[in-house]
């Protein structure tokens, strides 16, 4: 329920999750509506470890729409932000013209103040814009009391944001319509479906990624002859196999498909002209480590996936987490006087057999990985009931700013 | 003319060149006959800088076929070596059964001693097996006095060896026949066609390549969904464009196609499962350097291509060589007490403008490149007339061995 203060400001605060694709989205068929060239599928990560938080305040006294991201005021006229605001307001108008007056607590002419922050570094390749736009759209919808196809609105902020509108395992259907109405996200299975699934984020570098994904995928669409083939001939079969693997909790198939799809995405980047590189030598060493580890056990126990940056996201099952973390720590010895190396869900400690480290047989690379975040799958966006957690103060301005 | 010694040993020594593909060969449709999934095209490098030398000796006194590579005796029963020997001898028999007796100087029952060496490090990613097999087949053909489709025989030693049978610009037609008779090399233009073309080999590392190309391409054929698409839908058009660019000496098109095809080959490697990586961070930095250099001049002045290893081969025109070498030296400062950084054809020295180095704007990486070999296109295999250069002594054994 939106909270009204003495100064007639209404506040709502929500959180939204990060998602990590296992069937990748790369390439738009419509740049304005953000319609993809292929469907994609992701796992929603738990918000206990990674989330965006957004407070939206609304008041008759506000003179203009404003937005603050991670403490810094940003330009509200950014086209994608405007798309989301416009689409949400259109949904409200439609609802009211349909005669539903239950939500008319707020005038559509009232301006909004938006304040958003992530509990993880932006632009570290952790899909911050997906969580951010999902959170914005969800918070606005709670404030204005609308429901409906919110994922199609989030999609217009940042394509993959539509997948952060649900928890668990989420497919973004590419859709066929020119207006994008059918390019929406759908939950394949909730997070409770596969409780043993674990996710480790291996943070390789917090440098800004060299080529932004928007510009990158645009160049790929224009220049890669392999991209079109992937979209038309590869993804659809792979999607069916992936959904089946998830339904059956078949980690071996899930893991192999995840790795193959990550590699194919980076292959498309390399086939782009000029080529785009997101993987670096540390990323490649992680890939090699994973294959050697799996080869040793003659089964796919861990799987990697990489987005538009060098960080690895590892999928595995609960029973393998502590050993694999130990393996990573062995082959990428952390900086001894750095911060904690392992964040997030606790991981038990085990000792490695010489046989295993010998079988992997890589040269250890000190400080190759900055830290690991241990997490699992979690729910979609949530409303924060504790009003003390609003990011905007009673005056409608950020409580903290930089 | 084969030389007979007092001990009734006949000697022939020949040299053969390295070739560097600009339309890459990756994937066989027949592993025994070495038939490729797509046609390819290469530039033959000049033997003044890089060559294989082979001496073959033949005598009624030899008890068995033997081979020495770079001073070390190797197993003559290696299947690909046997293929070449068998095919050459078949050609001789055919010639004789056709009634041509001009070449029956040697009995087919005589055994051969083969001694071969390269003037560059083997397995440094410089296609040593191509030059080696081309040289072997050419030398045997001179010894036994046969002509005919030698490239199809060299192909059975090492696929790309067929392209080293000619100088200049050489296409390997994939062919359609099951027996491989039409999978042969053909000269597109001789080396004299484009005298301004220059080639720089940037030796990044002399480490052995991680995955041999034979095993690598086999895995790609089995697992990459993009490889088949490349072979069926991409290469044929690109080949036509490449041949036209060469005929017209259109460097801009030649260079762009070369870079795109190199990138696509490495994309296929990445789409292979498990993925294959030949490029490392230094390779990627060279790619970035080339694109930034070209971007600064708003034209494609230099082009890179990479084979199954991290070394870059740069194509450019004579008028840009000295500046580009200076650029490479600036951004990859050589080890000061190492050997000479620039080998091969002399390169003039120029000073770089601040504007250019600023425009490139990369962080210099000391010792990223070990040395540069400067060369140009050259002729096909040659017979060495100077008998003092035979690699086998009068006893039919290597003059030097390790």
Whole-angstrom Cα distance, residue A112 to residue A54? 12
Token pair in block for residue B343 = 């080998």
Q: Note the pLDDT tens digit of each residue in A285-312.
A: 999 999 999 999 999 999 999 999 899 9
Domain with CATH 3.30.230.10 in chain A: 3-190+384-389
Domain with CATH 3.30.70.890 in chain A: 197-376
Task: Give the phi and the psi of residue B142 in degrees, each rounded to 5.
Answer: -70, -40
Where does residue A328 rank: exposed (0-12), middle (13-18), buried (19+ CB within 10 A)?
Answer: buried
What is the sign of the dihedral through the CA atoms of A203, A205, A207 and A212? Answer: negative
Residues of chain B in contact with residue A272, where contact means CB-CB under 8 angstroms, are 263
CA of B175 vs chain A CAs: smallest distance (Å): 24
The answer to whether B271 contacts A267, with C-beta atoms less than 8 Å apart, is yes
User: What residues does A42 pair with on adjacent strands?
Assistant: A21, A170
| Per-chain mean pLDDT for chain A | 92
B261 close to B39: Cβ distance less than 8 angstroms:
no
A173 C-beta neighbours (distance < 10 Å), count: 17
CA distances from A192 to A135, A186, A373, A379, B187 (A): 22, 16, 20, 9, 64
Whole-angstrom Cα distance, residue A294 to residue A291? 5
Whole-angstrom Cα distance, residue A224 to residue A218? 10
Q: Note the pLDDT tens digit of each residue in A364-382.
A: 998 889 899 999 999 999 9
Angle at A168 between CA A304 and CA A158, to 5 degrees: 75
Going by C-alpha positions, the residue among B308, B276, B301 that lies closest to residue B208 is B308
pLDDT (0 to 100) of residue B112? 95
A270 and B CB contact within 8 Å: yes
Choosing among 3.40.50.620, 3.40.50.300, 3.40.50.1400, 3.30.230.10, the CATH entry for B3-190+383-389 is: 3.30.230.10
**Terminal C-alpha separation, chain B:** 30
The answer on pLDDT for A123 being more than 50 is: no
Q: Smallest Cβ distance to B267: which of A226, A259, A260? A: A226
Tell which of B241, B264, B292 to mutate to test the A interface (max A CBs under 10 Å).
B264
ipTM given for this complex: 0.91
Q: Note the pLDDT tens digit of each residue in A45-58.
A: 999 999 999 999 99
Can you identify the CATH homologous superfamily of domain B197-376? GHMP kinase, C-terminal domain (3.30.70.890)
Which of 159-198 (A) contact B at CB < 8 A?
A: none
Among A109-113, A194-198, B207-211, the range scoring the smallest mean pLDDT is B207-211
What is the DSSP secondary structure assignment for residue A131, as one 8-state letter? H
Domain with CATH 3.30.230.10 in chain B: 3-190+383-389
The answer to whether B225 contacts A264, with C-beta atoms less than 8 Å apart, is yes
Q: Assign A124 a pLDDT band (cuts: 50, 70, 90).
A: low
Could you list the pLDDT tens digit for every one of the 402 residues in chain B?
566 655 689 999 999 999 999 999 999 999 999 999 999 999 999 999 999 999 999 999 999 999 999 889 999 999 999 999 999 999 988 888 877 665 555 667 899 999 999 987 654 566 678 999 999 999 999 999 888 889 999 999 999 999 999 999 999 999 999 999 999 999 999 999 999 999 999 998 655 556 788 889 999 999 999 999 999 999 999 999 999 999 999 999 999 999 999 999 999 999 999 999 999 989 999 999 999 999 999 999 999 999 998 999 999 999 999 999 999 999 999 987 666 899 999 999 899 999 999 999 999 998 889 899 999 999 999 999 999 999 999 999 999 754
Cα dihedral B264/B270/B273/B275 (nearest 10): 140
Chain position carrying tokens 């068998």: B86
CA distances from A40 to A204, A245, A258, B390 (A): 25, 15, 11, 63
Token pair in block for residue B118 = 């390269």
| Residue A252 neighbours by CB under 8 Å, 6+ apart | A299, A300
User: What residues does A373 pair with on adjacent strands?
Assistant: A201, A343
**Terminal C-alpha separation, chain A:** 30
Cα dihedral B243/B246/B248/B252 (nearest 10): 110
Chain position carrying tokens 């030059």: B131
A365 close to A285: Cβ distance less than 8 angstroms:
yes
A39 C-beta neighbours (distance < 10 Å), count: 18
Token pair in block for residue A55 = 């407070």
B4 C-beta neighbours (distance < 10 Å), count: 14
DSSP for A76-102? TT-HHHHHHHHHHHHHHHHHHHTT--T
Element (H, E) at A137: helix A128-144
Token pair in block for residue A263 = 């590699």
Q: Smallest Cβ distance to A229: which of B226, B266, B284? A: B226
The answer on pLDDT for A269 being more than 60 is: yes
Q: Note the pLDDT tens digit of each residue in A90-105.
A: 998 888 887 766 555 5
Which of 289-328 (B) contact A at CB < 8 A?
A: 291
Task: Tell me the residue length of chain B.
Answer: 402
Chain position carrying tokens 């994309």: B267
Q: Assign A120 a pLDDT band (cuts: 50, 70, 90).
A: confident
B181 close to B156: Cβ distance less than 8 angstroms:
no
pLDDT (0 to 100) of residue B8? 87
Q: Which fold has domain A3-190+384-389?
A: Ribosomal Protein S5; domain 2 (3.30.230)
Which residue is closest to B262 within chain A, CA to CA? Answer: A271
Residues of chain A in contact with residue B267, where contact means CB-CB under 8 angstroms, are 226, 267-268, 270-271
Residues of chain B in contact with residue A228, where contact means CB-CB under 8 angstroms, are none
Among A228-242, A294-308, A327-341, B229-243, the range scoring the smallest mean pLDDT is A327-341
Token pair in block for residue A98 = 């349909």
Whole-angstrom Cα distance, residue A377 to residue A19? 9
């Amino acid at each position: 329920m939106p909270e009204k203060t003495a100064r007639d400001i209404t506040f709502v605060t929500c959180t939204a999750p990060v998602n990590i694709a296992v069937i990748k989205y790369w390439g738009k068929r419509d740049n304005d509506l953000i319609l993809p060239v292929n469907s994609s599928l992701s796992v929603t990560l738990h918000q206990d470890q990674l989330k965006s938080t957004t407070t939206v305040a609304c008041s008759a006294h506000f003179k203009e729409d404003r937005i603050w991201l991670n403490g810094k005021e940003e330009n509200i006229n950014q086209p994608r932000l405007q798309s989301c605001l416009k689409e949400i307001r259109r949904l409200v108008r439609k609802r009211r013209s349909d005669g539903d007056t239950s939500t008319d607590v707020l005038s559509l002419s009232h301006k909004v103040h938006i304040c958003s922050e992530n509990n993880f570094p932006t632009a570290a390749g952790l899909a911050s814009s997906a969580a951010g736009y999902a959170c914005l759209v969800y918070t606005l919808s709670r404030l204005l009391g609308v429901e409906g196809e919110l994922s199609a609105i989030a999609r217009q902020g940042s394509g993959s944001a539509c997948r952060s509108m649900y928890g668990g395992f989420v497919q973004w259907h590419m859709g066929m319509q020119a207006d994008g109405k059918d390019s929406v996200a759908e939950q394949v299975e909730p997070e409770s479906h596969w409780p043993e699934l674990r996710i480790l984020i291996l943070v390789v570098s917090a440098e800004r990624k060299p080529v932004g994904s928007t510009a990158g995928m645009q160049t790929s669409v224009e220049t890669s002859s392999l991209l079109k083939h992937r979209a038309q001939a590869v993804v659809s079969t792979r999607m069916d196999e992936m959904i089946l693997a998830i339904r059956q909790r078949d980690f071996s198939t899930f893991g192999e498909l995840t790795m193959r799809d990550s590699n194919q995405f980076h292959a498309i980047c390399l086939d782009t002209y000029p080529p785009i590189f997101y993987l670096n030598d540390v990323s490649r060493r992680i890939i090699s480590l994973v294959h050697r580890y799996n080869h040793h056990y003659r089964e796919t126990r861990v799987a990697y996936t990489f987005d538009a940056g060098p960080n690895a996201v590892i999928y595995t099952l609960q029973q393998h987490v502590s050993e694999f973390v130990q393996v990573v720590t062995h082959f990428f010895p952390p900086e001894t006087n750095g911060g904690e190396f392992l964040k997030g869900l606790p991981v038990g400690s085990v000792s490695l057999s010489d046989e295993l480290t010998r079988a992997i047989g890589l040269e250890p690379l000190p400080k190759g990985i900055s830290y690991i975040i241990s997490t699992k799958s979690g729910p979609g966006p949530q409303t924060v009931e504790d009003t003390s957690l609003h990011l905007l103060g009673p005056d409608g301005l950020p409580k903290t700013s930089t």
